[in-house]
Amino acid sequence: MTAVRELFSLHGKTALVTGGSRGLGLQMAMALGEQGATVAIASRRQAGLDEALATLAAQGIVAHAVVADLADPAAADALALAALDRLGHVDILVNNAGASWAAPAEDTPPEAWDRVMNLNVRGVFLLTQAIGRRSMIPRRAGSIINVASIAGLAGNPPGTMKTLAYNTSKGAIVNFTRTLAGEWGAYGINVNAIAPGFFPSKMTRGLLDEMGGRLAAEAPLGRLGGDDDLKGAVVLFASAAGRHITGQVLAIDGGVSAV
């Protein structure tokens, strides 16, 4: 029987986190690194990556950075190759990079729809496929953690967001997670998703400035997400503690989706 602390250990493991230079991605990269994983973070801008590497290094975390824009279909395979060059193999893939667009459905331009779908859905598919083919399937092991959203579990309450493309993309990620778990379980690969609620971030800044107090008050726990609130879930899904969990979507939202 394995000790609990060993089940949650990630020593000797490697992880690739997209959108890992700030916000939720950096929080998850830090959690994986704190548990012993060597981490590669990817983002579109080198400056942000440099800041994130300094933050991780200050915590004693071994990390690498790769510039990549997953809205470009050619970027996924290049990112996979770069990550494998730095890490050797990828044990844990966190698909966190994403974009949103706020506008009434009738006013959403097709190019905005495509921008959201290309990054939030196609980019996730292409990178997951590349890492699966090149590392996880041949090694018959791996953990894939997709960042969905409670916006993918339901529509938006009246008077709040108008984000049809974003909600649709995150709904797609929910079923991408379940379907891939069914296919890749045969290779020993776990596939799960985290569905965050409202966390302070660059993407949510405008909304939370306007109605953050209301959104916190409407959550059963009476608060928004914080700097440590995704750490436990990502470590659970990435580690041996979660080895019998696959195809699941865990809402981390202060209870919002329950009511």
One-letter amino acid for residue 36 of the chain: G
Rounded Cα distance, 153 and 174, in Å: 8
Query: How many C-beta atoms lie closer than 10 Å to residue 212's C-beta?
Result: 15
Over range 39-44, report the average pLDDT: 97
CB 61 within 8 A of CB 33: yes
Contacts 24+ apart (CB under 8 A), 149-154: 149/195, 149/196, 149/197, 150/195, 150/196, 150/197, 150/251, 150/253, 150/256, 150/257, 152/195, 153/195, 153/249, 153/251, 153/257, 154/257
**Does the pLDDT of residue 212 top 80, yes or no?**
no
Instruction: Decide: pTM greater than 0.85.
Output: yes
pLDDT of residue 218: 82
CATH homologous superfamily, domain 4-197+225-258: NAD(P)-binding Rossmann-like Domain (3.40.50.720)
DSSP label at 44?
S
CB atoms within 10 A of CB 220: 11
pLDDT computed for residue 211 by the predictor: 65
Q: Which residues are catalytic?
A: 166
pLDDT, position 30: 98
Per-domain residue ranges of the chain: 4-197+225-258
Q: With CA atoms as reference, report the closest residue to 52 among 90, 18, 95, 92.
A: 18
User: Looking at the predicted structure, is the pLDDT value of residue 161 above 90?
Assistant: no
In this prediction, residue 231 carries a pLDDT of 97
Coil, helix or strand for 232?
A: helix
Average pLDDT over residues 106-132: 97
Q: Report the amino acid identity of residue 90.
A: V
CB 80 within 8 A of CB 18: no
pLDDT tops 70 at residue 132: yes
Which three-class secondary structure string do you get for 45-79? CHHHHHHHHHHHHHCCCCEEEEECCCCCCCHHHHH
Categorise residue 142: left if φ over 0, alpha if ψ from -120 to 50, beta otherwise.
Answer: left
Question: pLDDT tens for residues 61-90?
Answer: 999 999 999 999 999 999 999 999 999 999
Q: Which residues contact 190 (CB under 8 A, 6 or more apart)?
A: 142, 143, 144, 181, 237, 242, 243, 245, 246
